[in-house]
Structure 1
Amino acid sequence: MSGKIVLHYFNGRGKMESIRWLLAAAGVEFEEVFLTKREQFEKLNNDGALMFNQVPLVEIDGMQLVQTKAILNYIAGKYNLYGKDLKERAMIDMYVEGLGDLMDLITILPILPPDNKQKQLAKIESKAKDRSLQLFEKALAHGQFLVGNQLSRADVLLLEITLMLQELFPEILSTFPKLQEFQGRMKAIPTISKFLQPGSARKNPPDEAYVKTIKEVLSHLFK
């Protein structure tokens, strides 16, 4: 195992994208190994790299980490994106868990049958506008960051999700000025600005090729 951080996943967003975002915000370089064939997944599994027979897989600090939340927790703690004490960490966790509910609805969208996508889009828009965005608009009235006086994983995730929501619903932030200001501040952070530039490791919205690859590599889940 090399000293570099290596991400094993598909060449697309999915559950790995938040990990890419967090590493990028921390200014940490990483390499990626893209899964394109079933045999790659089976080899990782047979070699014991996938404890729960799932990806994402991140090689970091001599470990093979799986389970997205565990990976994000480790990265946040390692790179000072997890608050200054336990109380701040608890607040960060609450925000992240709440945002995770919305992220799950968005992440599953590409693999849904066509007939279900419109219903899912309506569900995402309703949850975002009626609950999530109102909550975070109010939270940002108290300062530049969601928790304390420094950048945390909650801020990074909020930026990621609001940008994804704008891809689906371009005007969704029109009545949320604090969130718009927040986006502007976050985009001005040099490491995040770099990640938002063309040619970075940030992935494009999912397309049919991405979904086809997932279904081929993870064929055991789509039987």
Structure 2
Amino acid sequence: VPGYILTYFPVRARAEPIRLLLADQGQTWTDDEVQLADWFGGKTDLKKNAVFEQLPKFQDGDFVLYQSNSILRYLGCKHGLTGSDEKEKALIDMVNDGVGDLRQKFGRLIFYEYDTGKENFIKDLPNQLAPFERILSQNANGATFTVGNKISYADYNLLDILHCHLDLLPTCLDTFPLLSAYIKRIAARPKLEAYLKSEKRNKRPITSKHK
């Protein structure tokens, strides 16, 4: 049975939290890259066959799954990254939904409002990041993860969206000591650190609008 296959465009975007999870959990996977021109030009049946005409597509042997958050949750369940009880599971889900909201706002800025909305986006960014600082402060005073004492799939999603915002504004975490420490701590996990420094990761832009 072939291992994991992740089908996506040659960018980080919505596939990157999945890659962070797989790398940190010591999993191997194949990146099946689809060129944007082929996808939008109808040169592939992939779009027609995708459940919601969207990527990423994830294959675990014969099992095929779409929707980035569903893939994250599936891998979270499979690798024990969903919390230790029902309450932790619900909180992890909540954090992941919060990251999803922030990711949508970031995407809207990058793709539709960059020239007109960047100033307002940056001005409001502290309000967008504050809930995550507060969430960290409520769990072991911010010394561990967003929920509980073990990494969860939501942590990989949060790490990625924080990286996206640091790319936009390198000073955005300066007033958030817990988030600043958190991002350094998570990124220093040995397998994750190796992936974050890898050529494979660094040759991929954050989105198709990034150089």
Q: How does 1:25-36 map to 2 (within 5 A)?
A: 25-36=24-35
Following TM superposition, the consecutive aligned residue runs of length 4 or more in structure 1 with deviations greater than 6 angstroms are none
Q: How high is the TM-score relative to the length of structure 2?
A: 0.85
Indicate the residue corresponding to 1:14 in structure 2: 13
Please report the RMSD computed on the Cα atoms of aligned residues, expressed in angstroms: 2.3
Q: How does 1:130-209 map to 2 (within 5 A)?
A: 130=127, 132-141=128-137, 142-143=139-140, 144-201=144-201, 203-207=204-208
Indicate the residue corresponding to 2:46 in structure 1: 44
Structure 1 residues 40, 59: CA separation in 2 closer, same or farther (over 3 Å shift)?
farther
CA distance in structure 2 between the partners assigned to 1:162 and 1:133 by the alignment: 9
Indicate the residue corresponding to 1:80 in structure 2: 80
Query: Which amino acid is 1:54 matched to?
Result: Q
CA contact (8 A) 1:5 1:29 kept: yes
Query: Which amino acid is 1:136 matched to?
Result: F
Q: How high is the TM-score relative to the length of structure 1?
A: 0.81
Indicate the residue corresponding to 2:105 in structure 1: 105
Count of aligned positions: 203
Range moving further from structure 2, 64-73 or 132-141: 132-141
Unaligned 5+ runs, structure 2: none
Report the Cα offset of residue 207 of structure 1: 4.8
Structure 1 residues 41, 31: CA separation in 2 closer, same or farther (over 3 Å shift)?
farther
CA deviation digits over 1:104-144, x for unaligned, max 9?
A: 122344432xxx313443454344311x3212222222321
Structure 1 residues 40, 63: CA separation in 2 closer, same or farther (over 3 Å shift)?
farther
Report the Cα offset of residue 153 of structure 1: 1.4
% identical aligned pairs? 30
Structure 1 residues 198, 69: CA separation in 2 closer, same or farther (over 3 Å shift)?
closer
